[in-house]
Amino acid sequence: MHQINSKTFITENFLLNSKEAEILYHDYAKDMPIIDYHNHLSPKQIAENLPIGNITDAWLGGDHYKWRGMRANGVDEKYITGNTLKEDKFNKWAETVPCTLRNPLFHWTQLELKRYFDVDDILQPSTASEIYKKANSILATKTPADLLEDMNVEVICTTDDPIDNLEYHITIASRNIFTKVLPTFRPDGLLQIEGANFSDYIKKLSTCVGYSINNMNELLNAIQSRIDFFDAHGCRLSDYGLEQIYAYDFTEKEADSILKKRLVNKEITKGESNLYMSFVLYKLCKMYHAKGWVQQFHLGALRNNNSRLLKEVGADVGCDSIGDFSQAEAMSKLFNSLDSENCLSKTITYNLNPSQNEVFATMMGNYSEGGVIGKMQWGSGWWFLDQKDGMEKQINTLSNMGLLSRFVGMLTDSRSLLSYPRHEYFRRILSNLMAEDIRKGLIPNDLPFVGKMIQDICYHNAVNYFKFNK
């Protein structure tokens, strides 16, 4: 591919197509603090707070978005997840970037280079060496805490297993740093009863709580103990990464019997697995409500499609895709059951299949509650959908089916400390969409009014919704 000659691609008015959009972004959205209420950052890395030192580590370590792009470009796996030299991996990414035109990776790459390293050049083979050296010289002095503060990140919520001892969160909380780092309770391991490692996981939970778990009552007590522990250390959210919600009919006696079978490594049927997961999920939701937590459901990923790479490299390496699971009926059944008992928590759902946008948006409108603003949220474009087209469709659908003005806004869902320009990306897209409506006469030409709504979506709604300071 020929060299791209464009410089200063990320201009001051990138993605802003009118004077109104420029005002809405620069005067209202740009400087709002960031609340990143769902990500996969490493608490250990933040607690140790050592400079990352190398952009390959910061950028390519664990970033399955980039790995997919590199594989599509024919890059050998040794340059992606192998043990080759860091600069060689970076150079392979630099070869790939020009081929990502019209993929969000191109925008994200250039935004991150601009915001963290003041680089205007397009990353490509001819600029790779200079960019690599400049980025590394800056990363040699910047700690994770510095990088978060530079981006005005006020709160982050990591994703944590119930058996985590939260030692790194405790260390971070003892220090005076700009960004508050809180845990999120992610109990997927408790639900995966069909998995080969389920019994081992329950043994680890037993060690964590200090007693054996041999039946459902003991399991529920252990879960409650871990929820209490997380709550004491600032946790205010839970999360699930599921194909779909499980809401099959159950009795506690049946669930107990299924658990006992699995704990002695007996095989169970798919129906038994569904019953167990439905029961435990329901109990978890009730425990969250008692704590006043927000619950999140990330639904619809078809994971580990490439068995060869799963065996060679592992999970979460870029071999997941959009699934076509049925969602509406189970969501309705679970949420209605909880609502009927007055124990439905504030809830955010995220769909991975864009054909289900309206399904999710309308479902969340069924369980509003007087006195609770925006209780049920349809979350921002997730994973394959957190790009310009996906964000615009999410914003437009939410506007049509619910109240965009009460939306709690963007999150990174990222493993990289260099991902925070995604919030800027969202804010520019939101500002431009609202400005287009003004220019078309679809909403009043009242920039302060619209600007205040944008500020609410970018920051204030999340502050009021999550109540991290309670």
User: Which residues 6+ apart lie within 8 Å of 336 measured at CB?
Assistant: 366, 367
Report pLDDT for 62.
Answer: 84
Q: What are phi and psi of 237, to 5 degrees?
A: -135, 150
| Cα–Cα distance, 407 to 391 (Å, whole number) | 13
DSSP 360-391: HHHHGGGG-BTTBTT-EEEPPP-GGG-SHHHH
What SS3 class is residue 216? helix
| Sign of the torsion angle spanned by Cα atoms 201, 203, 209, 215 | positive
Tally: H helices and E strands in the chain: 21, 10
Q: What is the pLDDT of residue 219?
A: 98
294-299 and 237-242 strand pairing:
parallel
Residue 18 corresponds to which tokens in the numbers above?
Answer: 């009118």
- Classify strands 294-299 and 301-302 as parallel, antiparallel or unpaired: unpaired
- Taking the C-alpha atoms of residue 293 and residue 344, their distance in angstroms, rounded to an integer, is 10
Q: What is the pLDDT of residue 8?
A: 83
DSSP string, 394-453: HHHHHHHHS-GGG--------S-TT-THHHHHHHHHHHHHHHHHHHTTSS-S-HHHHHHH
Domains annotated for the chain, with CATH where assigned, are 19-50+143-466 (3.20.20.140), 51-142 (1.10.2020.10)
**Residue pair 327/300 in contact by the 8 Å Cβ criterion:** yes
Q: What letter does residue 372 receive in the DSSP assignment?
A: B
Burial of 29 (0-12, 13-18, 19+ CB in 10 A): buried
pLDDT at 316: 84
The answer to whether 1 touches 99, Cβ cutoff 8 Å, is: yes
User: Taking phi first (over 0 means left), then psi (-120 to 50 degrees means alpha), and beta for anything else, what does residue 326 get?
Assistant: beta
Which pLDDT value is given to residue 161?
A: 98
Predicted confidence at residue 470, as pLDDT, reads 64
Mean per-residue pLDDT pooled into runs of 10, the chain (470 residues): 79 98 98 98 97 95 92 97 96 98 97 97 97 98 97 98 98 96 98 94 97 98 98 98 97 98 95 98 98 98 93 89 97 98 98 98 95 96 96 98 98 95 98 98 98 98 91
Burial of 418 (0-12, 13-18, 19+ CB in 10 A): buried
| Residue from 413, 431, 378, 461 nearest 108 by CA | 413
Does residue 40 sit in helix, strand or coil?
coil
Please name every residue paired with 180 in a beta bridge, in sequence order, or none if there are none: 155
The CA-atom distances, in angstroms, between 297 and each of 64, 303, 342, 344, 464 are: 21, 16, 19, 13, 20
Give which of 242, 244, 245, 238 is closest to 186, Cα–Cα.
238
User: What angle, 0 to 180 degrees and rounded to 10, lies between the N-to-C axes of helices 447-455 and 421-439?
Assistant: 150
